Every structure is written in structure tokens, then in C-alpha cells.
Structure 1
Amino acid sequence: MIQEVYTLTIRELKKWLSRRGTFVVSLITPLFWLGLFGKSLNFAQMFAPTNIPPQYSSLISKYVDQQLLNLFGTTSYFTYLASGMLVVFGFFQSVFGGTNLVFEKRLGYLNRLLMTPTPRSGIFLSKVFGTLIRILFYEAILILIAWGLGIKFKPELTVINILLAGIAIIFVAIGFVSIFAAIAFNVDNVEIMFAIVNLINLPLMFASSALFPLKQMPSWLQEIAKFNPITYAADIVRYNLVGAPISNYLLSWIILIVISITLFVIGMLVSINAMEKA
């Protein structure tokens, strides 16, 4: 099965590279989020009073920085947002990895593939691996974009920190690409698939700590966010890249891994079952 998975994964990557429009749009979208949304919300200017005497400006600035530090774990909201968007972008790419399956079914490629002796699990794994490689490539570029726009990495940042942040994003991607692949294998209508995507992706993004801290949310929303793997991945990424505090680092890893593996197993079983019935 290894040879089949490798061959199908290479095909996924070639198909991705040949779609230049999709390649460019996938880079522009997070750039808009970071450049427009991230930079427009300047909380330092919002909190700072105007028309203050020069002799008090330094004290006011320190006070504002302390409030931002207490709220976001960093004195820069852009840094908070950019580190969270790394996880959100991995999640969005996972969603698109699933939607591509619907188009392959409509074009007949998937049906022809199912007529071959290729293991059904191999077809599923190739979709997961192909999506993960795309995500890692985009994440590397996104980090460079965030750095250029002014993200403040922690002074003691190491290669290990970067790797751990990347692993956290990979776990999120594995879980969600598996679930959306399972949905795609059971859906034939593109409109239905996009309706499901729109129903799920934005609530998952906002019901997490990717954009705002959980402590600023209503209590009922905090409880929902605790079951969202994006929350734990965003906290882990921030801890490793920008030094933002985290309540329980080890527990966050355990919850993230358990949820992601559970989603992966469910997605694979549902996908294989759908392919067997096709």
C-alpha cells in the first residue's frame, strides 16, 4: 500500500501545483486577514487616551502595554492574531482538501480510481498526506509574511519551538481533513458540500482562542471552545512562537492529540465505508 499512497500523494501535489490561480489565492487570503484585519485593530491606540501631557505619556504607554499583556499575553494584538491565524489557515486548507474530493467525484476520476485494486485506506491517506504537505508549505510562507508585517517572536525562539508549533498545526489539519474527506465521500452535490463548509468553518474559528482570549467570551461560549482543537493548537503555537502564557501546556497537547486522532479514525472509517458502497 505504501507505493499506492506515495503515487497518489504525488498526483495530489502535481494537481495542486498546476492550479496557479488556487495557489495564488491561497496565499492572498491570509495576507488580507493579517494585513487588513490584524493591523486595523490597534488596541494600543484604542486604549490610550488622547491629548495627554507629554510627561505622562510614558506612564500611560506602560499602563496600556500591561493591560494588553494581561489580556493577550503579548503587548501586540497583531502578534496574538497572527499566531492564531497560523492554526486557522491550516484548518481552512484542511477544509479545501475535503471539498476537492467532490469535484473529483463529479469529474469521474474518483470512480475510475475505485475500480482499481488500490486499497481504500490508501486513497484516503493520500488525500490526508497531500493536504498536509500543502499546509506545511503555506505555513512557512505565512510565517514569513507575518514576520514582515511585524509579529513579535519571543527572544529565545528556537528551532524546537518552530517544530512544536508546526506539529500542533499538523494535528489540527489531520483531524479536520479526515472529517471533511469523510463528508465529501458521502456527498455528491457541490452546493451541499459548500453549505456544510460554511456552516462549520466560521463557528469553529470564532469559537476558539484564535482571534480572542477565552476569558473575554461568555461562559457558554468558553465551554464550547474547550472542545475545539483549534483552541489548544492556537495556545500551543503562541506559547512556542511568541511566549504567550498557557495554563497547562502538557494537558493542551494531550487534548489536542486525542481529539485529532479521534477525528482521524472516524474520518478514515467513514470514508472507507463510503468508498466500499460506491
Structure 2
Amino acid sequence: MNMLTHSWYMTLRHLRNTLRMPFVIFMNLIQPIIWLFLFSSLFSSIIHIPGFNSNSYINYLAPGIVIMSTFMAGSYAGMSMIADHNHGVLNRFLTSPVKRSALILGPLIQNAVTMIIQATIMILLSFMLGANFAGGLVGIFILIICGVMVGIGFGALSLSIALLVRNEQALMAFVGFISMPVMFLSSLFMPLQLVPDWIHNIARFNPVNWAGEAGREAIKTNIDWGIVLTYSGYLLIFSILSILLATLSFRKYQKTI
């Protein structure tokens, strides 16, 4: 069997594990849902600040929360790898003919499926709160794809960290340490023209910001395809490099067992 077939079976394995514990999807959505409801109410008057380029904060916030949900889902992708390591499953796979790349792609594809479900739920909740996705289905599709790409990128980084630390508490501590800065050093919740220059400068190199900018632009009435394609290209490169890093980390892991 080739790599694609092996990756398919590994994806099915991880999907079955997710279906056995559907509450995991719900747990990943708790924080984005709370932030969607709280922020849309608390900061509804922020649109009156000079320079704010939207007539509704929920319209501005909704794409950011979608990206937040996929980012958070991807960040914990390494938990399944650590569980497989701790239970000896990963070592048993290494003694089988399974393609090594499938052990990386399997959990990432499963995470992508989970991200699509979560992003769809967040979009529906945003509609309920009055969000208007003027870009239509095409814009929503692009928003979800951007979310999945940033989620896969951080998911691959999570796998790399998991293979390094091999401890669930250590991975959770790392995710907790980086998640808030990564989200707030972006345009997810506030336009960059309204934040200090140092935040603006950092956000330029933040993949979460790339996803937020591309996704938000895609749901506008008049889409600037230059912005969408540029940031989408950045996200694609980020995802590929992260997967390559995860592959290298896996090879290093093999040498230590």
C-alpha cells in the first residue's frame, strides 16, 4: 500500500477515537463560544472608535473567532501522539510496514476534519448573533480553508513538540503559554491600525494574523483577492514547513527508541 492509503487508514483510526469521545469537540469549542458571546456584547460600541473599518463588531469578530477555534484545535494535535507513545501504540506502528509519513498525516487530517466541523458550528452561532457574511458561500469556504491551514500548521508544530517532550502536561503548558500571545498579537479582535506599532509589527509575522486577515477579507462584499491570495500563500508555506518539521522530529524520535 502507498502513503495515501496508509494515511487514510491512520485518519480513520483517529476519527474513530474522536467519535468515541465527541465531547472533545465540544470542549475545544467552549472558549471560542464564550469569547464570541462575551466579546460581541462587551465591545459592541468599539465600532465608534475613529478608524474602525466595520459597522458591526460581530461582523468583524466572527471570522476571528472561527480562526481562533481552528488554531486551538490544531494546537492540541500532539496529545494523540503522546497518548500513542505512552501506551506503546506508536512503537508497535514502527515495527509494522506502515509509512512513517502516514503517522504524521493521519492525525493532521483528522484534526482538519474536526476543524471544519468546529468552524461550521462557530459560523452558525455567528449568524444567530447577527453576523453578516457578505462574501457568501465562497467567502465562508475561504474562511474555513484559511482556518484549516493555520490549524494544520500549528497542529504539525504541536506534533513536533509532543515528540520532543512526550508528556501531556508539558504540551498543555506550552500551548497555554503561547496561545494567548499568538491570538492577541494579531487582528482577530482589533484592527491593526488601532493597536500599538510594536503589536502591528509582530502581527505581520504571525500565521494566526494571516488567517484572520485573509478570512475576514474573503467575507466582504468587495473582496481584495490580492490580500486573500497573499496571506493564503503564506499560510500554505507555513503549513508545509511545519509538516516538514514534524517529519524531521519523528525521524529524531525513531533514533531515541
Scaled by the length of structure 1, what TM-score is found? 0.83
Aligned counterparts, 1:181-260, within 5 A = 181-243=159-221, 248-249=226-227, 250-260=229-239
1:168 pairs with 2:146? yes
**3-state DSSP of counterpart to 2:254:** helix
Counterpart residue number, 2:118? 138
Cα contact 1:92–1:201 (8 A) shared by 2: yes
How far off its partner does 1:215 sit? 1.6
Counterpart residue number, 1:61? none
Counterpart residue number, 2:252? 273
How far off its partner does 1:80 sit? 1.1
**3-state DSSP of counterpart to 1:87:** helix
Cα contact 1:165–1:236 (8 A) shared by 2: yes
1:111 pairs with 2:68? no
How far off its partner does 1:100 sit? 2.6
- Deviation readout 1:205-263 (Å, 9 max, x if unpaired): 11111111112222222111111011111111111124487695143233333233222
1:147 pairs with 2:147? no
How far off its partner does 1:190 sit? 2.0
**Partners of 1:213 and 1:173 in 2: how far apart?**
22
**3-state DSSP of counterpart to 1:210:** coil
**Partners of 2:124 and 2:5 in 1: how far apart?**
34
Cα contact 1:74–1:80 (8 A) shared by 2: yes
Structure 2 counterpart of 1:122, which letter? A
Structure 1 counterpart of 2:43, which letter? L
**Aligned partner of 2:10 among 8, 11, 17:** 8
Cα contact 2:82–2:163 (8 A) shared by 1: yes
**3-state DSSP of counterpart to 1:116:** coil
Which of structures 1 and 2 has the bigger CA Rg?
A: 1
Q: CA RMSD in A?
A: 2.2
* Moved beyond 4 Å, runs of 4+: 243-248
Stretches of structure 1 lacking an aligned partner (at least 5 in a row): 48-63
Stretches of structure 2 lacking an aligned partner (at least 5 in a row): none
Aligned counterparts, 1:4-153, within 5 A = 4-43=6-45, 64=48, 67=49, 70-71=51-52, 73-153=53-133
**3-state DSSP of counterpart to 2:55:** coil
- Residues 191 and 27 from structure 1, CA distance in 2 versus in 1: closer, same or farther, beyond 3 angstroms? closer
Q: How many residue pairs end up in the alignment?
A: 254
**Partners of 1:244 and 1:206 in 2: how far apart?**
27
Cα contact 1:84–1:210 (8 A) shared by 2: yes
Structure 2 counterpart of 1:26, which letter? N
Q: Percent of aligned pairs with the same residue?
A: 27
Cα contact 1:74–1:244 (8 A) shared by 2: no
